[in-house]
Every structure is written in C-alpha cells, then in structure tokens.
C-alpha cells in the first residue's frame, strides 16, 4: 500500500471513530434524559441532572443539544420512531374497520404501559408531551396515520369519511385515554384499548357500562 493510500485510510478510520463517538455520546445523553424525565419530570429536571447520568463532561451536552427543551423533544421523537415502526406491523395488516382501529390503539397503549420507564415518563410529562404534538419531528405519526387511513378507505376497510377529522379524532382519543390510563393503579391497557376502540366504532351506545365499584 502506498503512503498516500495509507494516509487516506487512516483519515477515514479516524473520521469513522469520531462519528461513532458522536453517535454514542448522543445516545448516552438521550438515554440519561429519558431516565431523568421519567423520574422527576420535565419541570424539575435540569441539564446537570442529565449529564450526571453519563460519563461525559458537562460541556459536552451543548455539542448535541442547546437546552433541556431540545433534548426532551428528541427523546419523544425517538419514542415516536419506535411507535411508527410498530404501526407499520399493525394497521397495514387490518382487514376490518374494527381491526384497523384496535391495532392502531393497541400499539400506543401497549407502548406506554408495558415498559416501566416509559410508563413513568408518560405519567410525569403529560403537559410537555401534549405541547409537542404539532412539532415537525412528531408530525410523522400523523402523516403515517393519514396515509394508512387513505389506503384503508381505498381498499374498502374503512368508510369514505373526512380523513383529517378522523386522524384528529383518533389522535385525541388515544392520547387523552392514555393519560387517564397511566394515572390509574394498576394500569390496564387492555381496558383502555377496548374502551377507545368501542368508542370509535360505535359511539357512546357501544361502550361497556361501568361496574358498580368503578
């Protein structure tokens, strides 16, 4: 190998290591932030709380995020990517309207309820999460839902209704019922999924009646 080729290879390897280190540092900060926000909530958390959970120097944080608002948004956006991945495995396989709605609702409720840290994150941060709903990083979920509803209508799975209204209704119903769900002890995602699905399918007349002790 010529000296020039060896130097080029060395430069590429160093560049690759730098990029890997950057990716690892960012991932470490996101992981730490998710834990901190889950434990004490967005309002009480500070950048120092996040950095203390890592092996990074305090100033390193600002190489990746400008403040706690930005890293909070990044944490929620990272979660939304996983939710989107799960939706692709659910809604698209539905063959009936009820199956479409139940699959959609199940993905979100189970995602929130089944991981203790995500459950705590949801409990601690209802208001800041709600305020992020229209951020560009989170609109991907609405766009994908819009596209999936459009496809389901085209295949005769859903009725030909106003798509933006249905997207908004689903988003609102699922999020707000999830807020009530995570506030309960014990958390019961199956109950929340069934309630939301039956509400969307048949309105109030389709809902289960309350038990005497509820």
Residue with tokens 């609102």: 172
pLDDT of residue 136: 74
Q: Which residues of 167-193 are buried (b: 16+ CB within 10 A; e: fewer)?
A: beebbebbbebbbebbeeeebebeebb
- Are 149 and 209 in a shared domain? yes
- 0.85 surpassed by pTM: no
Are 97 and 188 found together in one domain?
Answer: yes
3-class SS of residue 170: helix
- Indicate whether 47 and 112 sit together in one domain: no
The total domain count for the chain is 2
Quote the CA–CA distance of 58 and 68 in Å, as a whole number.
Answer: 13
Distance between CA atoms of residues 8 and 2, nearest Å: 10
Where does a domain end: 65, 99, 116?
A: 65
What's the Rg (C-alpha) of the chain? 22
Going along 33-107, which residue ranges are E strands? none
pLDDT averaged over 10-residue windows placed end to end, the chain, 214 residues: 59 68 94 98 97 93 96 95 86 91 95 96 94 79 91 93 92 95 96 96 77 66
Cα–Cα distance measured from residue 210 to residue 164, given in angstroms and rounded to the nearest whole number:
31
Does residue 71 belong to any structural domain of this protein?
no
pLDDT for residue 141: 84
CA–CA gap between residue 87 and residue 170 (Å, rounded): 14
CA distance 179 to 156: 32
Look up the domain containing 170 and give its range. Answer: 78-214
Do 169 and 209 belong to one domain? yes
Q: Is residue 73 part of a domain?
A: no
Q: Is 200 found in the same domain as 94?
A: yes
| Same domain (yes/no): 121, 200 | yes
């Amino acid at each position: 190998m010529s000296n020039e080729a060896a130097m080029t290879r060395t430069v590429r390897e160093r560049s690759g290591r730098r990029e890997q280190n950057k990716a690892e540092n960012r991932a470490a900060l996101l992981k730490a932030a998710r834990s901190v926000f889950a434990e004490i909530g967005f309002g009480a958390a500070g950048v120092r709380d996040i950095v203390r959970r890592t092996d990074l120097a305090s100033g390193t944080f600002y190489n990746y995020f400008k403040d706690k608002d930005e890293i909070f948004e990044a944490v929620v956006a990272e979660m939304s990517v996983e939710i989107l991945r799960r939706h692709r495995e659910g809604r698209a396989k539905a063959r009936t309207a009820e199956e479409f709605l139940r699959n959609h609702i199940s993905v979100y409720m189970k995602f929130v309820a089944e991981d203790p840290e995500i459950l705590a994150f949801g409990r601690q941060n209802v208001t800041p999460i709600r305020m992020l709903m229209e951020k560009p990083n989170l609109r991907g979920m609405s766009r994908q839902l819009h596209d999936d509803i459009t496809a389901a209508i085209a295949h005769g799975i859903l009725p030909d209704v106003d798509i933006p209204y249905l997207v908004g209704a689903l988003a609102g119903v699922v999020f707000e019922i999830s807020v009530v769900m995570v506030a309960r002890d014990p958390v019961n995602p199956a109950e929340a999924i069934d309630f939301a699905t039956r509400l969307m399918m048949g309105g109030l007349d389709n809902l289960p009646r309350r038990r005497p002790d509820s």
